[in-house]
Amino acid sequence: MDNKEESINFSPVIIGTMRLGEWGVKMTNNELERFIDECVELGVIDFDHADIYGHYSSEGEFGAVLKRRADLRQKIQNTTKCGIKLTTKRRPNFKIKSYDSTKEHILASAENSLKELGVEILDLLLIHRPDYLMNPHEIAEAFQLLKKEGKARHFGVSNFTASQFDLLNSFISLKTNQLEISILERSAFENGTLAQCLKHGIVPTAWSPLAGGSMFGKAVSSVKTRILLVAEELQQKYNATLDQILLAFLRKHPSGIIPVLGTSKIERIKSALDSQKINLTHEEWYELWQAAIGEEVA
C-alpha cells in the first residue's frame, strides 16, 4: 500500500510528553502552558502523548491547557497512543498489564483521549505496542470508523516489526512507525523497519533518540568511550554539542528520522533544532557506526 498520499507533516522534532507530568518533572498548569507556547514559537508543533502516560493523567493535564487556551488547539498537532492496559488506581478493573487492540478498546481509548485532551480530532493515533492477539480486521474497522466520524486524521503504530507493520498496513494506511532508534539502539537500521519506511514513503519517528541520556551520564563502558572519542572530533569540526552529533547521526538516514525528545528544557529543544545544520559525511557516519559496534563493517 502506498502511504505517500495524505501524509502527515511533522515538525523537525516532536515533543514527547511522558516526562512532563506525574512520571517526570510534574509541570504545573502554568508551566506547561508556557512550555507549549515556547515550543510553538520555535516552530515545534508536534506533541506525542499516550493514554497511559502519568498513569492515565498526562493527557488530561495537557488538555487542561488546551481547554483554557483554545487558540493553541489550532497551532499544534497531537499524537496519542493506545493499546496498553496499565495496572493503576486510575484503572482498577485492569488486573494485569496487558495489550488490547480490539475494536472496542481502540474506540473507547480514542474517545477518552479526545475528552482528556479537549480536542475534537486526534491528528495521529498509534497502536502503542504490537498485541499478540492483534486482529488487523478489527483495528482497520476501528480506524476507519474514527476517520469517518472525524475523530482522527491519521493512523500509525509504535514498536512494530516490519512484518507486523506490513500485516496491518495491508488493511489500513499507516503513516508512521515510532521506534526506539539511537546510536546505542541500532536494530531499526538492520531489521528492515527503516527500509520499509522508505518503501512506503512514510517518516519514522524515534523515541529515546539520545539513548535515554545514557551517553551523557558518568557511567563508563567501552562502547560509550569509543563513541565519545569519535563524537569529540566531530563536535570540534562542526562546532557542535554531543547531542547534536548524535541527532545528526539519525538524520543522515534517507528515511528522514524525526526524533521524539523527552525533554522539558527549551534550550535542549533549540539545540536539537540546530542539529539540522549538521550533515555528516558518509565516512563520518560510518565512523560512529564502527565505534558503536566495535569493529569495521564486513
92-101 burial, b if ≥16 CB within 10 A, otherwise e?
A: eeeeeeebbb
pLDDT of residue 81: 98
DSSP helix/strand/coil, 4 = coil
Residue 135's nearest CA partner among 109, 113, 105 is: 105
pLDDT in tens, the chain (298 residues): 555 557 789 999 999 999 999 999 999 999 999 999 999 999 999 999 999 999 999 999 999 999 999 999 999 999 999 999 999 999 999 999 999 999 999 999 999 999 999 999 999 999 999 999 999 999 999 999 999 999 999 999 999 999 999 999 999 999 999 999 999 999 999 999 999 999 999 999 999 999 999 999 888 999 999 999 999 999 999 999 999 999 999 999 999 999 999 999 999 999 999 999 999 999 999 999 999 999 999 9
- The residue assigned the cell 492496559 is 85
Residue 245's nearest CA partner among 222, 228, 257, 223 is: 228
- The residue assigned the cell 524515534 is 206
Half-sphere CA count of 294, side-chain side, radius 13 A: 6
- Number of other residues whose CB lies within 10 A of the CB of residue 234: 22
Residue type, 58: S
Retrieve residue 72's grid coordinates.
Answer: 493553541
3-state helix, strand, coil in the chain (%, to 5): 45, 15, 40
With 0-12 / 13-18 / 19 or more C-beta atoms within 10 angstroms meaning exposed / middle / buried, residue 218 is: exposed
Helix axes 136-148, 162-169, angle to 10 degrees: 50
Distance CA 7, CA 201 (A): 9
Q: Which residue among the candidates 53, 56, 132, 238 is catalytic per the annotation?
A: 53
Asked if 143 and 175 touch (Cβ cutoff 8 Å), the reply is no
Farthest-apart Cα atoms in the chain, separation = 57
Q: Quick one: fold of 14-175?
A: TIM Barrel (3.20.20)
Retrieve residue 171's grid coordinates.
Answer: 488493511
Residue 99 known to be catalytic: no
pLDDT of residue 7: 76
Residue 159's nearest CA partner among 260, 250, 77, 9 is: 260
Q: Domains of the chain: which residue ranges? A: 14-175
